[in-house]
Every structure is written in C-alpha cells, then in structure tokens.
Amino acid sequence: MAIVKARRVSLAPLLSVTVPLALSLAWQPLVRNVKFPQIYASLAFSVLAFVATLVLIPRFGPAFVKVGLKGRDLLKKSTDDVPECMGIVAALVYLCALILFIPFPFRAAFVVDPLTSQVNPEYAPHRQLAVYLAALLSLLIATVLGLLDDLFDIRWRHKLPIPLVASVPLLLVYHAEQGNTHVVPPKPLQQLLGTYIDLGPLYYGYMALLSTFTTNSINILAGINGVEVAQTIVISLSIILNDLLFLPWPFTLHLGRFEISGFFGMAMAQERHLFSLYFMVPLLAVSLGFAYHNKYPARVFPGDTLCYFSGMAFAVVGILGHFSKTLLLFFMPQAFNFILSAPQLFGIIPCPRHRVPKLRADGKLDPSIAEIPNPSVLTIVCLRLLKFLGLAKVKIARDRSYAEISNLTILNVILTKTGPIKESTLTRYVIGIQLLSSVVAFAVRYGFASLVYDSDRR
C-alpha cells in the first residue's frame, strides 16, 4: 500500500534563516549585558529544535511505516498509509534540547574559585539542578509510557492512571524542596477557615492527579488532523505569556486604565517562572515544527506519545513552578471534555475504540454514534440528562431495549450544534475555543480573582 506523500521542507532557505538567528541569540549575552542570558540560550536551542523537528519527521516517516507504525486516516477517503507515533521524534528533539541547555542556567557549577583555581562545589546550584533533572526524568518516563501505549494500544480505563508513575520524581523533589501544601481560601471564608488551609498529603494526591489530567486530557480531545498539537501550542503560548508577566520588562504596555510592565510577584516567583520558560519555549518550538506536518490534511499522526510528553511538560511547570491553579484555568476545554467523556470512560455508556466524528459521502463530518443494547436504568438517566443539557443526540427505544447517543467529546458536541462541517473547519473551532478559554483564564486569574483572593493566590 502507498505511503501518504510527505510535505516538502526546503532545507537551504530554512537553514539560511534559522541558523544565523540561533547563533545571534546565543551570541547576545556574550557581547551585551542582558538581564536573563539563559533565556537567549533557550531561544537559540528552541530555534534549532524547531528546525530539527521540521526536517526529521518526513525523514523518519517511511522507516516508521516499514516497521508497522502506520495507520489510515479514518476521516479521509484515501487508503494511503500515514506514519503513526511520530510524536516520539518531537519528544526526543525536545528532550535533547533540554539536556543540551543544562550548562546555561546552571553555569555557577563551573565557576572557578580565585583562591584555589578550582571549581568550588559550594557555588553549584544543587537545589535548582535537582529540580531540573527531576523534571527531565518525569518527561523521559512519560515519553516511554506514551510509546508503550502506542505500541500496545492500552485501553482507556487502564491508561488513565499511567501518568502517576511519571509524576513520582516531581512529587519527591517537591517534598525535598519543602514545597507548600496549603491553599488560600476565598476572602469571605477566611474568618471561618483561616488565612491558609494545610492539606498535607492530600495536596500531593492533588498534584499526582494533576499530572494524570494534563497528560490524558489532551489525548482524549483528539481524533482530527492537527487538534492535539494545536492544543499544545495554544496552552504553551498562554503559559509563556503568564511567565513573562512575572519578569521585569524594559517597557510598560498601556491598555486604557491598565498598565502591564511585568514582574507580577517576588523574586522567588521570578525564579519559578524562569524555570517554566526553560520548558515551555522549546515545547512551543517542537510543536510548531510538528504542526506543519500534522495540519490538515495530515501527513503524519502524533500517536499518544506527543500527548503524554506535552501533558507531562505542563504538569512539570505547573507543579514545580507553583502555579497549578493557573495552569488548570488554561485547561478549561480539556476539563469540560474530560467531564463530558466520563460516562464513556467509566463504563456507564459503551465506549467504542474510536470516538472520532463520522465521514459523510460529501467529505463533511457528522457526530459518531455509540449503540447501547439493553441500557441499564443508570444509563437511561445519564442519556436523558445529556439530552436535556443539549450535549448529545440521543435516541431511546420505547421499550428501552435499545438506545444510541452521539459519542461524548467536544468534537461531536460542536457537530451537533453546527451540523455537517469539514474537518479543517472543526479543527479551527477547537482552536478558537482554546484561545477563548485562555482569554477567560487571564481575566479570571488577574481580574476576577482579586475580588475574592489576596495577592497570594497562585
């Protein structure tokens, strides 16, 4: 069977622009007194990671097909093989960029003591390096687990707890750092509950579940060309913008009565958000490179590996950067999709292997349907509730011997509201929802939250 034709990448023009750009970024801290030289190094490695992802994916595609890592696009009439599991290429480029970057933020480890003319280990930032390496270990574990999921096609109910394994290094280093386990109640409840509530071990359970949610939620909202990597791009951009608000800017942005000039917090917050940038900027770069090949019509499929490592990257910065609640605000569409999918994920409603929309003869998409023979009383109640809320198309036989429902994903909900639309249009709807949710997240985080919380509300 033929392999789908790869998108062409013109190497000479690409390198003529990106290599000088990367060298220029790396050279700036050497010739100028810049505020955060490590950010310039991160940007340089990110540019190279973008190029590597863009170039390597079409090179490895035929090799993946040859060993059986291939699939057919269910929403196309074409029967050509599409390289599957290509997210592993982006993941490895991402990990290599993070590893090669290590000497730059931790260059104090190489400082020579002028008295002894030797490297003094007391100068080394052991704590920060341990945190960084723990994050790398979690990302590596998530990548391996994602690859195993791609190879062995683990069922949904079994794959949900898998990211707990990858979160163990994060939780251990968080404990070693003596990270906070308290939460700040809203102002109206502080007289009753106090200024802080210490959750103790429950907070670690929350962080473990956070890593499970961020990893699986992107994977659940999938099935059409470009949608997984588009989520990663929008969320990583949102986190980068949030990080920049905690760093000093060389200018002030005036928006009506509001002024934005960065440095929204103390020095410790600045360090944490710098740490977040170290991971988010390269993630955005490899995601943009991958998106070129995965956009409609897709020439490669990401597999679960892309969702696992990108979701774990978000968990890493949310947990170790101490802004997990802000992170969850950027995941509002994924949270809605996860709650919507819960009846199928937990067996109340049958969950078919593929819940992607259904291709029509005219090339447009309809919601896919799950058939339910002999539905239970609980299933009937759930079906009627979903129909009442307008979240699904539901049919129930009069004798209750049979029922059917549109599969419970945002993709199918959009199709029930819009009617038949093209796959590329559906992807744009999802991207629009993700962007809108980020705008709402910033409004909640920096606007409405101040009405019910004090300044310490991360």
**Over the stretch 177-234, which tens digit does the pLDDT of each residue have?**
877 888 777 777 777 777 778 888 888 999 999 999 998 889 889 889 999 999 999 9
pLDDT-based confidence at residue 111 (cuts at 50, 70, 90): low
**Do residues 438 and 238 touch, judged by C-beta distance below 8 A?**
yes
Backbone angles phi, psi at 373, to 5 degrees: -75, 135
The pLDDT value recorded for residue 458 is 45
pTM: 0.91
The pLDDT value recorded for residue 246 is 86
Question: What DSSP character marks residue 361?
Answer: T
pLDDT-based confidence at residue 416 (cuts at 50, 70, 90): very high
412 three-state secondary structure: helix
The pLDDT value recorded for residue 195 is 77
The pLDDT value recorded for residue 1 is 65
Residues 352-371: what's their mean pLDDT?
Answer: 91
pLDDT-wise least confident of 127-141, 186-200, 425-439 = 186-200
Q: 381 is written with which tokens?
A: 């109640």
**Do residues 128 and 321 touch, judged by C-beta distance below 8 A?**
no
pLDDT tens digits, residue range 69-83?
998 888 888 888 999
pLDDT-based confidence at residue 316 (cuts at 50, 70, 90): very high
396 three-state secondary structure: strand
Strands (E), 22-177: 70-71, 82-83, 112-113, 118-119
Please state, as a whole number, how many other Cβ atoms lie within 10 Å of the Cβ of residue 398.
6
pLDDT > 90 fraction of the chain, expressed in percent and rounded: 53
**Mean of the per-residue pLDDT values of the chain:** 87
Pick 241 or 262 by higher pLDDT: 241
Instruction: Scan for tokens 């990893």, then name that residue.
Output: 215
Q: Which amino acid is at 7?
A: R
The pLDDT value recorded for residue 253 is 57
pLDDT-based confidence at residue 311 (cuts at 50, 70, 90): very high
Q: Assess whether pLDDT exceeds 60 at residue 129.
A: yes
pLDDT > 70 fraction of the chain, expressed in percent and rounded: 89
Cα–Cα dist 241/236, whole Å: 9
Distance of CA 440 to the CA centre of its chain: 18
Q: 136 is written with which tokens?
A: 């790398």
Residues 443-456: what's their mean pLDDT?
Answer: 72
Q: Assess whether pLDDT exceeds 70 at residue 404.
A: yes
pLDDT-based confidence at residue 161 (cuts at 50, 70, 90): confident
pLDDT-wise least confident of 31-35, 268-272, 372-376, 448-452 = 448-452
The pLDDT value recorded for residue 415 is 95
Q: Assess whether pLDDT exceeds 80 at residue 393.
A: yes
Q: 58 is written with which tokens?
A: 């079409």
Q: Assess whether pLDDT exceeds 60 at residue 320.
A: yes
